């Protein structure tokens, strides 16, 4: 696995510091935070996922529109199955989403030792609950009934506590592991402590995860310009679909704007993450194999 560029670490750290300073001054309420979630995820987060079609074209011979149509049908079919699961089994879906999110986000430290991949993935989902459990439970309450939402927040706090202890032990007792990966995870913990859970998610998802994934992907795609244009086009379609979904959710029920946006963003991300995770794992295996063949 290729080492991640140093500038990504600095970008994430500077973004976190600036966000902490700005949020300390502004102290936006939950509604404002949720309204901030939409443009930031749409502009800085979605494009990395919209590269999934170019990734698939780089891995498999998707010949012509028929090959692309078959891939799109499979991709959207998996996403649709996740949406159905959220509709009928929201409590279970919250736990499943958190589990595969931790696995997926741990990939941001693929160039680090296994223990740092584990602590990183656990920190991304567990750190906010450790410091702001009630806020996390409130957000989960938009997605599932309160009993499983509260239980999920409590479980995440426990995961976060274990990950924090492990990270501190590594910092103190393992000088060889004091790498940029551990620095990024320290920034994660500081951001989780100082920022609300939603702002923390925006900072991590947009300033580290999306940037890292998109950079790695573009390095392995031959026609980068076409891939970027396609990514932008698919992101626009996804955003328009998201706004339509928010309108539908509010139109058919008594949902508040916070509830409607939270459901659209997080259930939408959950739905897209399942096929995205499967594809990215296949992509990582493919790039790792290609790298080995060069030596």
Q: Could you tell me the residue ranges of all domains in the chain?
A: 6-12+29-290
Tokens, residue 194: 């100082």
- Is 48 annotated in some ligand binding site? yes
- Among candidate residues 190, 172, 166, the one with its CA nearest the CA of residue 24: 190
Query: What are the C-alpha distances in Å from 19 to residues 12, 75, 196, 198?
Result: 10, 34, 11, 12
- Is 209 annotated in some ligand binding site? yes
What lies within 8 Å, CB to CB, of 258 at 6+ separation is 30, 31, 34, 142
Q: How far apart are CA 191 and CA 207, in angstroms?
A: 12
pLDDT tens per residue, the chain (295 residues)? Answer: 567 789 999 999 999 999 999 999 988 887 777 777 766 776 665 555 566 777 777 677 767 777 778 877 888 888 888 888 888 898 898 898 888 889 888 989 988 889 999 999 999 999 999 999 999 998 888 888 889 999 999 999 999 999 999 999 999 998 888 889 999 999 999 999 999 998 999 899 889 998 888 787 777 666 556 656 565 666 566 656 655 655 655 555 545 666 777 777 777 777 777 777 777 777 666 655 444 333 2
| 27 Ramachandran zone, left/alpha/beta (phi>0; psi -120 to 50) | left
Phi then psi dihedrals of residue 66, to 5 deg:
-70, -40
Rounded to a whole number of angstroms, the distance between the first and last alpha carbons of the chain is 13
- Cβ burial of 139 (10 Å; 0-12, 13-18, 19+) is buried
pTM score of the predicted model: 0.79
């Amino acid at each position: 696995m290729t080492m991640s560029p140093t500038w990504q670490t600095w970008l994430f750290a500077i973004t976190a510091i600036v966000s902490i300073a700005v949020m300390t001054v502004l102290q936006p309420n939950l509604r404002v935070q949720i309204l901030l979630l939409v443009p930031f995820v749409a502009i800085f987060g979605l494009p990395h996922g919209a590269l999934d079609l170019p990734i698939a074209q780089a891995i498999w011979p998707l010949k012509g529109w028929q090959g692309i149509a078959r891939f799109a049908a499979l991709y959207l079919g998996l996403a649709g199955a996740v949406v159905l699961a959220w509709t009928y089994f929201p409590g279970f879906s919250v736990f499943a989403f958190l589990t595969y999110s931790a696995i997926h986000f741990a990939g941001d430290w693929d160039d680090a030792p296994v223990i740092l991949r584990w602590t990183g993935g656990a920190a991304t989902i567990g750190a906010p609950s450790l410091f702001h459990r009630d806020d996390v439970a409130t957000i989960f309450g938009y997605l599932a009934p309160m009993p499983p939402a509260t239980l999920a927040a409590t479980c995440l706090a426990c995961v976060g506590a274990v990950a924090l202890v492990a990270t501190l032990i590594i910092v103190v007792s393992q000088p060889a592991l004091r790498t940029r990966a551990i620095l990024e995870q320290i920034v994660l913990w500081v951001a989780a402590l100082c920022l609300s859970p939603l702002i923390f998610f925006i900072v991590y998802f947009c300033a580290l995860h999306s940037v890292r994934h998109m950079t790695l992907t573009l390095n392995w795609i031959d026609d980068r310009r076409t891939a970027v244009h396609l990514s932008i086009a698919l992101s626009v379609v996804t955003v328009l679909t998201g706004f339509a979904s928010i309108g539908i959710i509010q139109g058919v029920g008594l949902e508040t704007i916070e509830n409607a946006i939270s459901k659209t963003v997080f259930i939408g991300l959950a739905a897209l993450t399942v096929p995205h995770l499967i594809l990215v794992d296949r992509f990582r295996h493919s790039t790792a194999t290609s790298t080995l063949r060069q030596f």
